[in-house]
């Protein structure tokens, strides 16, 4: 594993005990609502196998489980053992299989998934467009033809005023709240910097297209602070 991936993994290992509390605090609990909405989108596709990559403490995977048919297998993949341990310790986690793996090279057969989701994590994988396309190509590989890709991620508001408010909130408050609750100053400096640098919804849709997906649609929420992208293989 490359040095950058190792550093990111150690950072998530370190913040795992307080990861959910920080998220719920900085989003006023809305992160849960956004994941549920993304899971509703997945449910429209149906199918036999759904995978949530960068599953962390399993909140997205458990939302998927909630909306999936009983016969649908739901799998959560992450490379941080402490994050996955938290996921697996939840009472509802019995219906989800958690796998330890690097999502840049998924240990899954080509054309084997009906749905692949990624929530609040794509911006932790890469910032460079070329590298992002590479990982999205890996997600494309494991989906069945017509399989559904769903990304839930922070975005960039188009209104200058909202963008300024959002960026100020992330720069000053998110960093401070994250540091205070988690006691890790470096993790929340890094995480807030990725929120500030990530692509706007139109640009991210173009990156998804470059990775080979089609029928790309996105839904901007909260004045463009957060977006759900969906695309088909």
Ligand X SMILES: C[S@@+](CC[C@H](N)C(=O)[O-])C[C@H]1O[C@@H](n2cnc3c(N)ncnc32)[C@H](O)[C@@H]1O
Burial of residue 165 (number of CB atoms within 10 Å: 0-12, 13-18, 19+): middle
- In terms of CB distance, is 89 or 159 closer to ligand X? 89
Q: Is 178 in the site for ligand X (CB under 6 A)?
A: no
Q: Is 122 in the site for ligand X (CB under 6 A)?
A: no
Q: Measured from the CB of residue 159, what is the shortest distance to ligand X in angstroms?
A: 26
Task: Decide the pairing of beta strands 226-232 and 214-221.
Answer: antiparallel
Nearest to 157 by CA among 198, 111, 121: 198
Q: Measured from the CB of residue 104, what is the shortest distance to ligand X in angstroms?
A: 5
Q: Is 153 in the site for ligand X (CB under 6 A)?
A: no
Applying CB under 6 A, among 14, 102, 138, 210 the residue interacting with ligand X is 102
**Are residues 41 and 75 in contact, defined by beta-carbon separation less than 8 angstroms?**
no
Q: Is 232 in the site for ligand X (CB under 6 A)?
A: no
Q: Which two tokens stand for residue 184?
A: 């890790």
What are the angstrom distances between the C-alpha of 152 and each of 122, 185, 211, 232? 9, 25, 17, 15
Residue nearest to ligand X (CB): 56
Applying CB under 6 A, among 26, 49, 54, 62 the residue interacting with ligand X is 54
Nearest to 230 by CA among 133, 172, 153: 153
- In terms of CB distance, is 197 or 215 closer to ligand X? 197
Q: Is 55 in the site for ligand X (CB under 6 A)?
A: yes
Query: Candidates 100-108, 140-148, 197-205, 211-219 — which segment interacts with ligand X by CB under 6 A?
Result: 100-108
**Are residues 61 and 152 in contact, defined by beta-carbon separation less than 8 angstroms?**
no
Q: Is 120 in the site for ligand X (CB under 6 A)?
A: yes
Q: Is 139 in the site for ligand X (CB under 6 A)?
A: no
Q: Which two tokens stand for residue 69?
A: 């048919």
Q: Which two tokens stand for residue 12?
A: 């998530």
Q: Measured from the CB of residue 39, what is the shortest distance to ligand X in angstroms?
A: 11
Q: What phi and psi values does residue 91 have, to the nearest 5 degrees?
A: -65, -30
Interacting residues with ligand X (CB under 6 A): 5, 8-9, 12, 54-56, 59-60, 78-80, 83, 102-104, 119-121, 124-125
């Amino acid at each position: 594993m490359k040095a950058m991936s190792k550093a990111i993994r150690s950072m998530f290992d370190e913040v795992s005990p307080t990861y959910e509390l920080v998220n719920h605090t900085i989003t006023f609990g809305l992160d849960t609502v956004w994941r549920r909405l993304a899971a509703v989108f997945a449910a429209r596709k149906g199918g036999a196998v759904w995978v949530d990559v960068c599953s962390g403490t399993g909140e997205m995977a458990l939302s998927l489980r909630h909306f999936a048919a009983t016969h649908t297998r739901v799998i959560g993949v992450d490379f941080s053992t402490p994050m996955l341990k938290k996921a697996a310790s939840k009472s509802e986690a019995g219906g989800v299989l958690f796998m330890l793996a690097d999502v840049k090279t998924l240990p899954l057969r080509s054309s084997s998934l009906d749905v692949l989701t990624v929530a609040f994590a794509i911006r932790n994988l890469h910032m460079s467009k070329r590298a992002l396309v590479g990982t999205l190509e890996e997600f494309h590989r494991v989906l069945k033809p017509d399989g559904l890709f769903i990304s839930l991620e922070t975005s960039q508001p188009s209104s200058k005023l909202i963008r300024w408010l959002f960026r100020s909130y992330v720069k000053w408050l998110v960093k401070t709240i994250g540091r205070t609750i988690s006691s890790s100053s470096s993790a929340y400096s890094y995480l807030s910097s990725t929120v500030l640098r990530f692509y706007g919804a139109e640009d991210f849709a173009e990156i998804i297209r470059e990775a080979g997906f089609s029928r790309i649609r996105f839904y901007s929420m909260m004045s463009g602070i957060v977006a759900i992208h969906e695309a088909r293989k």
